[in-house]
Amino acid sequence: MKNPKKDEFPKRPSQHIIETEGVKTFEHFIPSEWDPPEWKKHREYGIDFEFEISGSEQDMWGDIIKGQLRSHLSVKVHKDEYISERIKYKH
């Protein structure tokens, strides 16, 4: 059996790497008191994550946040550690 050449192996698309970095960045900003997000295995469209938030006293009220993550090569993080992104949408 001959050894495969380096260019014969599949390549992970750069967008997938950017998405992985986006998930890591997003999770960094989620407070530890909140229930960790449950991520969908395939995040091509629709809801990507769901998690329960807690109050200031760590009370779990059943408030659920669902969302879709959009990853980019760069992101602006403000001084007080929040991220803002302009979102385009149609009515």
Burial zone of 12 (CB within 10 Å; 0-12 exposed, 13-18 middle, 19+ buried):
exposed
Model pTM score = 0.63
What is the chain's alpha carbon radius of gyration, rounded to the nearest angstrom?
A: 18
Query: What does the domain layout of the chain look like in residue ranges?
Result: 1-91
Taking residues 11-34, report their average pLDDT.
85
Taking residues 8-16, report their average pLDDT.
87
